[in-house]
Amino acid sequence: MTRMTDTMRAVVMRQRGGPDVLALQDVPAPHAGPGEVRVRVRAVALNHLDLWVRSGAASPKLPLPHVLGSDVAGEIDETGPGVTDLAPGARVMVNPGVSCGHCERCLTGHDNLCRRYGIIGEHRMGGYADFLVVPRANVVPVPRGLDFVQAAAVPLSSLTAWQMVFDRAEVKPWHTVLVMAAASGVSTWAIQFARLAGARVIAAAGDDAKLDLARELGAHETINYRREDHTARVRELTGGEGVDVALDHTGADFWQGTLRALKWGGTLVTCGATSGYEAVTPLAQVFYRQLSVLGSTMGRKGDLFRIARLVEEGRVRPVVSGVRPLAEAALAHEDMARRDVFGKLVLTVD
C-alpha cells in the first residue's frame, strides 16, 4: 500500500448555481480505506447529471462543498487493506454506481435497486479531481485499444443504455425502436445496442449533423424533430403502426408525441428529463392502447464487463465530441448546456 501526496487539485462546487460556482482549488487528497482503491484520474466525462446537481435540480440536499464527475478513467494509485489483486499503475475505468454489496438486491445482481444505491459525483465525491477513492468492486479494466479519454466516455451512459435496451425494453430482432435525442451520450449507445440486438432503429434529433452521426452508428432511418412532426414521421415510416419501443430522456417537450409514436402495446423507457420533469401524460393513450411506460436508472455493475468486451471487439464504441482540461470545467458545462454536443465531453487531468 502506497501513500503519496496529501493534497490535490479539484474543481469544487461550494454553492448551487451556474457554471461560475465551479472553482479549481487545492483540497485534501483522499486515501484508500479497507476494500477501496485510489484512482489517479486521467480523464473524467461530463453528464447532464453534473448540470442538474450543480443547479440543484438533482440531490438538492447534498452537503456542500462537493466535487462532481461520475465517469472516470485513470490508473490505480493506492490500494487499501484487503485489496490484493490490483497493483499501482493498472489502467481502470470507474463504475459510477455504489451499493451496499450485501442486501438481497445486490447479491442477486440488481445492485442499482439497492436502497443505499448512490452515484459517484452525485451522492458522493466525484472525479473532477486528481484522485478518486472508490470500492474495489467499482473499477473495471480499460478496454484494450482505448485511451483514457475514450474510456471515460464509456461507463454511465453505456450502462444506462444497456439496461434500457436489454433489461427494461427487452428489445428483440423484430422490433422497431425509436431513439430520441440521438446524439446524446446515452442515445449513441442505445442506437448501437438496439442495432446489435437486430432491431430496426429510427433515430430522432434536432440537428442534421447529429442525424449523420446516428446513421454512422447504425440507425436505419432518421427524423429531424425540429423540422417535422416526429410522431407523424414515425407513423409514415412504420406503415401507420408505430414503433415497438421508444427510448427517451428528452422530458416534457416531446413526451406526448413520443407516446403517440408507439404502436398498440408498445413500450416507452425513460431515463431522464432534460427539457423538464413536468410532462403531461394522457392516460387514455396509456390504458386504451395498453402502453407500458418504464423508468430506468443506470445499470447493474456486472454489465460493464460485457460492454467492455463489445468495445474491445469493435462492435460498439464511445463517441467523444470535445476535450478540455480540468481547469475549464465551467466552460465544458456551458458547452453541454448549449445542447450541441455529439456524444461525450471529457475533461483531462494531467
Which residues of the chain fall below pLDDT 50? Answer: 1-3
- CA-based nearest residue to 8, from 157, 167, 128, 140: 128
Distance CA 8, CA 28 (A): 6
CATH topology of domain 7-154+318-348: Quinone Oxidoreductase; Chain A, domain 1 (3.90.180)
- Kindly list the domain boundaries of the chain, sorted by start residue: 7-154+318-348, 158-295
CATH topology of domain 158-295: Rossmann fold (3.40.50)
Each residue of 204-262: pLDDT tens digit?
A: 999 999 999 999 999 999 999 999 999 999 999 999 999 999 999 998 999 999 999 99
Each residue of 33-66: pLDDT tens digit?
A: 999 999 999 999 999 999 999 999 999 999 999 9
How far apart, in Å, are the Cα atoms of 296 and each of 31, 165, 247?
33, 10, 10
**What average pLDDT does the chain have?**
95
For the entire predicted model, the pTM comes to 0.94
Number of Cβ within 10 Å of residue 172's Cβ equals 12
Are the C-beta atoms of 307 and 153 separated by less than 8 Å? no
DSSP string, 305-322: HHHHHHHHTTSS---EEE
